[in-house]
Amino acid sequence: MVIEIGSQLAAFMPWAAGYELLGSKRTVPLLPGRSGVMRDISLHVLDIANNSLEADASLIEILVEEDIAGNMLRVKIKDNGRGMDEETVRKAVDPFYTSRKTRRVGLGLPLLKASCERCGGTFSIKSKPGEGTEIYAGFRYDNIDRPPLGDMPETIFSLVELNPSIDFIYRHSRNGHVFMMDTREIKKILQGLPLNTPEVAGWLSRHLKEGLSNLGSAEA
């Protein structure tokens, strides 16, 4: 079963005329009440998506697969940003290397890699200059050291709300059920009405929460 954007979005159509899509790329700060230590996977997703924004990506794909039967949790983040050469890819998992001027030590990717390996999973980075970057993190689902998934609806909503000009694809599967959100499709329906317009943002927040709730529990 695939859960996609429903016809309820058409309710926004009367407001669409005369609006232009506004907003520039903005990295998303840690959300209220969520510690700076990346204790859940959704915070890693947020960190990687921020890297994609800083790399001038215009499309970011976030894929989450809860394969209960196969005892795996897979997360993939792919962008069409500047990409990295082989040397930079190697340095990206070095906790003492960062290309950011705002902090001396970059811990996001090294921590994610260590977390995957600690619970019997795998981690990889594929990137080419001018073609973008793809990051994969796999976790053994039932491993006691696997971090919780965290609040994915809030993470995705924050990214979209603060970056309405960027396109996001979010696909989340669990037990054979799939929820998918593609902001390109939403924008077509809204005909230029910004995604961070209060009415649209309110709908999007509910849509994400309900979509994941409809996937059912994580029980096999």
* pLDDT 10s digits, 147-205: 999 999 999 999 999 999 999 999 999 988 999 999 999 999 998 899 999 999 999 99
Do β-strands 177-182 and 122-128 pair in parallel, antiparallel, or remain unpaired? Answer: unpaired
* Tally of CA atoms within 13 A in the half-sphere of 76 that contains its CB: 14
**pLDDT attached to residue 91:** 87
Distance CA 203, CA 75 (A): 25
Residue 7 in tokens: 């016809």
For the chain, the structural domain boundaries read 2-213
Half-sphere CA count of 139, side-chain side, radius 13 A: 24
* Reported confidence tier of residue 105, pLDDT bands at 50, 70, 90: very low
Sort strands 177-182 and 2-3 into parallel, antiparallel or unpaired.
Answer: parallel
pLDDT value at residue 98:
58
Tokens encoding 114: 């260590």
* The two structure tokens encoding residue 95: 């906790």
For 183, the 3-state DSSP assignment is: helix
H/E segment holding residue 121: none
| pLDDT for res 12 | 44
CATH superfamily of 2-213: Histidine kinase-like ATPase, C-terminal domain (3.30.565.10)
Instruction: Dump pLDDT digits (tens) for 12-69.
Output: 444 444 433 344 455 555 544 444 456 799 999 999 999 999 999 999 999 999 999 9
- For residue 19, what pLDDT is reported? 37
Q: What is the pLDDT of residues 107-136, one digit of tens each?
A: 689 899 999 999 999 999 999 999 999 999
Q: What percent of the chain has pLDDT over 70?
A: 76
What is the Cα Rg of the chain in Å?
18
